[in-house]
Amino acid sequence: MAKKDYYQILGVKKDAKADEIKKSYRRLARKHHPDVNPGDKASEDKFKEVQEAYDVLSDEKKRKVFDRFGYYADNLDPDSPFGAAAGSAGSGTGGFDFSGFDFSSTGASGSGSSFRDIFSDLFGGGGGARTTQAEPPRPLPKKGRDIEIPLAMSFEEAFSGLTTNITVNRSEQCSRCQGAGDTGGPVVQCPTCNGTGQVMRAGGRLQFSQTCSDCEGTGRRRQPCSLCNGKGVTPKTEQVKVRIPPGVDTGSRVRIPKKGHGGRLGAEPGDLFILTNVGKHRFLERKGDNIYITVPITVPEAALGTKIEVPTVEGKAQLKIPSGTESGQKFRLRERGFPSLRNPKLRGDQFVEVKITLPRVISEETKESLRQFEKLNPENPRKTMGLE
Ligand SMILES: [Zn+2]
Ligand SMILES: [Zn+2]
């Protein structure tokens, strides 16, 4: 059975702070996102793995469980005395090794169910059907989940901003039950978990059992609403108009309020986040709000000075090359960079590095004039190196 090191998957240290974990997760999720790597199975697997790792490490309680046992399952309690006993069976660093378990002794064939049986045996219950006849709990108002959608943009679109329509598969509070999930009918066995109070969730090669959110783990609920099947929300595909401000870069998150999933029982919907992915430019390179470009100039242009045109994100700009310009010299075009996202009144600069190109020898005449030039300018640039 493969053990996964969630810290290694996210590329963070064991003592990483929450925001480090978040930052690393965002970077990796962007890199491996299926929309960025269509049809790439390896990336998709990696993406799932990263999601799984973040799901555990971003949750303080789950992380504690993982730190203690070396893996995560919902029914583990990092503070229980049973937990201590199981923890000591594993190695100090890697945690718990399943290979020592005799799975066949449970009599179950699927590794998922036997996995759960083991924990039922070890920790007593956890997954069994509850027999209590108490009134099922009433659902509480719950804010909807956020949605994150990647958006590919060109270099120019990132510069000028973009308004576009995006198709969002979201949900809305159910109009029949107002998000309660039922309309006050009789109490029945929860159909989502078949009365067990637990649902299985795939996590890599293991399966995890999780408290059923439709019945809060009680296994019983009122007859589900027939419109939303007890979910409290109904699916809705919506065209959402999004305005991307000028100056976004790859990885910028643009928030569209209340266009995430619907809330329940009058609670607010979640937000929609657009995660921008900005393409490259043929000549211009962006670093922060500044733009960089290398431009070739000829020997006469460098020696005599001239005015040249250079490409910018908004078309051409004039640049004065003073006489005696050296190769590698940098010039600044003020406020020709990207607008600042934080303060739209500010703009970055464009830096132009000039590179002197050799004259091409295209004829006998060119050669002759170069010899003539050499005669008129007898100089040795290596003089200071004692090579005269
Ligand atoms: Zn409903
Ligand atoms: Zn349930």
**148-160 pLDDT, tens digit each:** 999 999 999 999 9
Q: Are 142 and 214 in contact (CB under 8 A)?
A: no
CA of 120 to the centre of ligand 2 (A): 18
Q: Separation of 386 CA from ligand 1 center, angstroms?
A: 89
Residue type present at position 359: P
Strands of the sheet containing 272-278, edge to edge, are 147-153, 272-278, 253-256
The residues, ordered by sequence, that sit 6+ positions from 338 with a Cβ below 8 Å of its Cβ are 158, 159, 246, 247, 249, 286, 288, 289, 290, 291, 313, 347, 348
pLDDT of residue 109: 37
pLDDT value, residue 29: 82
Confidence check: pLDDT of 311 > 80: yes
- Stronger pLDDT, 125 or 199, i.e. the higher one: 199
Cα 243 to ligand 2 centre (Å): 40
How far is the CA of 134 from the CAs of 138, 211, 212, 220, in angstroms?
Answer: 12, 18, 17, 9
Confidence at residue 80, expressed as pLDDT on a 0 to 100 scale: 64
User: Quick check: 204 and 72 in contact, CB under 8 A?
Assistant: no
pLDDT for residue 48: 86
Mean pLDDT of all residues in 52-67: 88
Q: What is the pLDDT of residues 230-276, one digit of tens each?
A: 889 999 999 999 999 999 999 999 999 999 999 999 999 999 999 99
What whole-number percentage of the chain has pLDDT above 90?
A: 53
pLDDT tens per residue across span 102-122: 333 333 333 333 333 333 333
pLDDT score at 381: 87
SS3 content of the chain, % helix, strand, coil (to 5): 25, 30, 45
Q: Which of 47-56, 248-257, 358-367 has the lowest mean pLDDT?
A: 47-56
pLDDT category at 133 given cuts 50, 70, 90 is low
In the reported structure, the alpha carbon of residue 261 is separated from the centroid of ligand 1 by a whole-number distance in angstroms of 15
Computed over every residue of the chain, the mean pLDDT equals 84
In this structure, the number of other CB atoms found within 10 A of the CB of residue 299 comes to 14
Distance CA 210, CA 75 (A): 8
Comparing 87 with 230, the larger pLDDT belongs to 230
Does the pLDDT at position 173 exceed 80?
A: yes
Find the 218 Cα to ligand 1 centroid distance in Å: 20
Which pLDDT value is given to residue 225? 93
User: 13-27, 128-142, 175-189, 369-383: lowest mean pLDDT where?
Assistant: 128-142
Q: Using DSSP bridges, classify how beta strands 272-278 and 147-153 pair: parallel, antiparallel or unpaired.
A: parallel
Under the banding of pLDDT at 50, 70 and 90, the label for residue 27 is confident
- pLDDT of residue 8 exceeding 50: yes
pLDDT at 344: 84
In the chain, the amino acid numbered 30 is R
Contact 127, 120 (CB under 8 A): yes
Q: Which ligand is nearest to the CA of 217?
A: 2
pLDDT tens-digit readout, 194-233:
999 999 887 777 778 888 988 888 898 899 999 999 889 9
Mean pLDDT over 49-74 rounds to 86
Residue 279 CA, ligand 2 centroid: distance in Å? 45
Counting ligands in written order, the one closest to the CA of 130 is 2
Between the ranges 35-49, 78-92, 287-301, where is the mean pLDDT highest?
287-301
* Ligand 1 center–CA 255 separation, angstroms: 28
126 CA from centroid of ligand 2 (Å) = 14
Q: What is the pLDDT of residue 81?
A: 54
- 265: CB partners within 8 A, 6+ apart: 139, 140, 141, 142, 173, 178, 179, 180, 232
CA 230 – ligand 2 centroid, Å: 10
- pLDDT higher at 290 or 222: 290
Q: What span, in angstroms and rounded, lies between the C-alpha atoms of 311 and 285?
A: 12
- How many whole angstroms from 169 Cα to the centroid of ligand 1? 18
Q: What is the mean pLDDT of residues 308-326?
A: 97
- Burial (CB count <10 Å: 0-12, 13-18, 19+), residue 286: buried
Ligand that comes closest to the CA of residue 224: 1
Burial class (CB in 10 A: 0-12, 13-18, 19+), 6: buried
Q: How much is the pLDDT for 43?
A: 84
Where would I find the H helices in 256-337? Answer: 299-304
User: From ligand 1's centre to the CA of 173, what distance in Å?
Assistant: 8
Q: What is the pLDDT of residue 50?
A: 87
How much is the average pLDDT of 131-139?
62
- pTM score, two decimals? 0.58
